[in-house]
Amino acid sequence: MSVSTLNVTIRQTENSRIHPLEKDKLVFGKEYSDHMLVCDYVDGAWQTPEIIPYGDFSLSPATSFMHYGQAIFEGVKAYRQPDGSVAIFRPIDNWKRMNVSAHRMGMPDIPEEIFMEGLRQLIELDAAWVPNDAETSLYIRPFMIAMDEFIGVRSSETYRFAIITSPAGAYYNKPVRIYVQDKYVRAAKGGIGYTKAAGNYGASMLPAAEVKKMGYDQNLWTDAVENKYVQEIGTMNVFFIVDGVALTPDLNSGTILAGVTRDSIITLLKENGIPVEERPISIDELIAAQKDGRLQEAFGSGTAASMSFIADLTYKEETLHLPDVNTWIISPKIKKQLDEIRYGHVADNHGWRFKV
């Protein structure tokens, strides 16, 4: 992005809430930094962005996003670098994907300058909130909501774009147990599965609660037609290492989010000489591979969870146990390389780090 001329109004808090960010006490999504960015869309144009103290919005009970679900969001992370500076990981890709979501939900595009320069100035102001420890980061949540005070069914004419941030530790602290879901459906062809729309996540709450009561960490969703082709794990994309080949569901059906972490992992796998196949993957194929000893590793990937290794998969009362994670070779190597890039321990040959 060229040198920005964007005017951002900044009103700093008089009472910072910053405190020592201890790794073991960081609960994901629990605490928020001092400031937030807010920018409203009115009369067909985006207004001047503001960075203001973090606080509540005042909303009418008729605000349309609460009734009709015009709400989208993104997930980004900023990482402390060895020299004490801060770098955001691939935010331009999150801006592009957010506009994909906006288009599908009938919402206005967010200009690159408002997203990128607003984000840069916000993180620069709240840089002290970025933790220093390994496996920690500042989680960044851009979102847009429909703001019309109108309960007729139509696209809103006014919107609010905002960014809030939250210091975060590890999302999962151990390999996860996964239930292969064939009762509920996350997304269907022609729907909004490829977007980060709030409704995608709202519909997942009941299935997630049910499998947690059964002792699992997340659902592995299957397709809406045959309930046999794997799609996503909860809030993550999914990978399987079978006979040294990385398998991951393709994006062609429009039911799977084009994850930024997913894309980063595919790039690193290929650079390490690991073949990658993006294609439909049936649960039957995975069962056969596990029984033959060919299912070597499996993991979920996403901004919040980074790379989460999978301990086992349960499908129709049958549990597929993965080999002990301590014996894995490919996934830990890729995770280490990804972390080294994010935290600035190696050269950024891909242009993924956005310096604040």
For the stretch 265-292, pLDDT in tens is 999 999 999 999 999 999 999 999 999 9
Residue 2: pLDDT above 60?
Answer: no
Within 8 A by CB and 6+ apart from 112, the residues are: 1, 92, 95
Which carries the bigger pLDDT value, residue 23 or residue 128? Answer: 128
Within 8 A by CB and 6+ apart from 263, the residues are: 93
pTM of the predicted structure, to 2 decimals: 0.95
Contact 307, 301 (CB under 8 A): yes
Residue 1: pLDDT above 50?
Answer: no
Which carries the bigger pLDDT value, residue 6 or residue 37? Answer: 37
Q: What is the pLDDT of residues 169-206, one digit of tens each?
A: 877 778 999 999 999 999 999 999 999 999 999 999 99
Q: What is the pLDDT of residue 305?
A: 80
Q: What is the pLDDT of residue 19?
A: 76
Residue 220: pLDDT above 80?
Answer: yes
Work out the pLDDT band at 116, boundaries 50, 70, 90: very high
Q: What is the pLDDT of residue 134?
A: 87
Mean pLDDT of 109-114: 98
Question: Quick one: how far is CA 110 from the chain centroid?
Answer: 18
What is the set of domains in the chain, with CATH numbers?
Answer: 9-170 (3.30.470.10), 176-342 (3.20.10.10)
Residue 110: pLDDT above 90?
Answer: yes
Residue 3: pLDDT above 70?
Answer: no
**Following DSSP, what letter does each residue of 149-181 receive, concatenated?**
B--SSS--S-EEEEEEEEEE--S-SSPEEEEE-
Q: What is the pLDDT of residue 30?
A: 87
